[in-house]
C-alpha cells in the first residue's frame, strides 16, 4: 500500500493510529507516518491497516497505549534487506533494473562492463528487489584514486516505490556501509537538475562540492558532486 492509499484509509488526517515497531507501540498522526516511514517501520504499520481495524481517535487521551494488546505477534513479516549482487551472473538483472529506474536518460544507463566495475547491492522489500546501489572504493567520482573514500556511482529505487521513504533507508544503509569499511568520506554525483536525489543527500548531511560541466550527455548536463565526511 502506498503512502497515498494509507492516507485514504483513514477517515480523518488528525486521527491517531497505532503503529507497531519491532520493539514498541507508538502513536503517530498519519501525516507523521508519511514523513517517518522508516522510523516506524512503515510496512508493518501498513500491515496493521490491512489486517486489523484501525484504532482511530481524535482525542490524544484516547490514543492506544502500551496497555493495548500486543499485535506484533500477528503481523506478517515484510523485511528490508541489502545483499550483494553477484556479477556477472546478475548483470542482466542489474541492467534491467537500471532501465526501470533511469530509463528516462538512456545515455546514463550502465552496461554489463560498467556493472562489473562496481560492487552493487540490492535492496529488497520482503524479497522483492526495489532498490540498488553501485559502489566503488578508494576513488573519487572521476576515477582519481582517493584512499578511504566510498564512491556511490548509482542510487535507485523502483518508480512505484519512490516517495515512500525507501530512498532514505537506502541512503542510511550506504552511510552505515561506509562506516563499517572505515571510510573517511563518501562522494557521489548526479545530474545538476536531479532535485530529488540532491535533497535526499542533503537530508543525510552531504554537501555540494563542485560541478563538473559536460559530465552527462543526451541531454548535456553538468554533474553536481556531493560528499559527506564520516
CA 43 to mean position of chain CA atoms: 14
Q: Which is nearer to ligand COA, 10 or 190 (CB)?
A: 190
**At its nearest, how many Å lie between ligand COA and the CB of residue 7?**
14
**At its nearest, how many Å lie between ligand COA and the CB of residue 61?**
29
**At its nearest, how many Å lie between ligand COA and the CB of residue 4?**
12
**At its nearest, how many Å lie between ligand COA and the CB of residue 62?**
29
Q: Which is nearer to ligand COA, 30 or 156 (CB)?
A: 156
Residues paired with residue 94 on neighbouring β-strands, in sequence order: none
Q: Which is nearer to ligand COA, 71 or 205 (CB)?
A: 205
Peptide bond just before 209 cis, omega within 30 deg = no
Alpha carbon distance 207, 228 (integer Å): 6
**At its nearest, how many Å lie between ligand COA and the CB of residue 173?**
12
Alpha carbon distance 142, 95 (integer Å): 22
Residue with cell 552493487: 120
Q: Which is nearer to ligand COA, 64 or 94 (CB)?
A: 94
Q: Which is nearer to ligand COA, 25 or 43 (CB)?
A: 43
Residue closest to ligand COA (Cβ): 167
Q: Which is nearer to ligand COA, 102 or 137 (CB)?
A: 102
For residue 166, which phi and psi values (nearest 5 degrees)?
Answer: -75, -35
Applying CB under 6 A, the residues found at the interface with ligand COA are 35, 101-102, 154-157, 162-168, 190, 194-197, 199-200, 203
Alpha carbon distance 138, 146 (integer Å): 5
Per DSSP (E only), the strands in the chain are: 17-20, 25-28, 80-84, 119-125, 128-139, 145-157, 185-191, 207-216, 221-229
**At its nearest, how many Å lie between ligand COA and the CB of residue 138?**
20
- Residue by residue, DSSP assigns 162-224 as TTTTHHHHHHHHHHHHHHHTT-SEEEEEEETT-HHHHHHHHHTT-EEEEEEEEEETTTTEEEE
Amino acid at each position: 500500500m502506498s503512502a497515498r492509499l494509507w492516507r485514504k484509509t483513514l477517515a480523518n488526517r488528525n486521527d491517531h493510529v497505532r503503529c507497531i515497531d519491532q520493539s514498541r507501540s507508538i502513536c503517530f498522526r498519519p501525516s507523521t507516518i508519511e514523513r517517518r516511514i522508516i522510523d516506524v517501520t512503515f510496512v508493518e504499520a501498513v500491515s496493521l491497516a490491512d489486517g486489523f481495524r484501525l484504532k482511530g481517535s481524535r482525542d490524544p487521551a484516547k490514543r492506544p497505549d502500551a496497555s493495548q494488546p500486543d499485535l506484533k505477534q500477528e503481523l506478517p513479516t515484510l523485511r528490508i534487506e541489502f545483499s550483494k549482487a553477484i556479477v556477472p551472473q546478475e548483470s542482466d538483472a542489474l541492467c534491467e533494473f537500471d532501465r526501470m529506474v533511469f530509463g528516462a536518460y538512456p545515455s546514463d544507463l550502465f552496461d554489463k562492463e560498467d556493472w562489473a566495475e562496481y560492487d552493487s547491492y540490492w535492496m529488497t522489500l520482503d524479497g522483492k528487489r526495489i532498490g540498488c546501489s553501485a559502489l566503488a572504493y578508494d576513488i573519487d567520482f572521476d576515477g582519481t584514486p582517493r584512499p578511504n573514500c566510498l564512491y556511490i556511482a548509482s542510487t535507485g529505487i523502483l518508480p512505484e516505490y519512490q516517495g515512500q521513504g525507501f530512498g532514505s533507508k537506502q541512503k542510511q544503509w550506504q552511510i552505515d556501509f561506509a562506516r563499517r569499511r572505515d571510510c573517511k568520506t563518501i562522494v557521489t554525483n548526479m545530474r545538476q537538475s536531479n532535485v530529488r536525489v540532491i535533497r535526499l543527500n542533503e537530508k543525510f548531511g552531504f554537501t555540494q562540492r563542485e560541478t563538473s560541466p559536460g559530465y552527462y550527455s543526451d541531454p548535456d548536463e553538468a554533474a553536481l558532486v556531493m560528499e559527506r565526511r564520516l
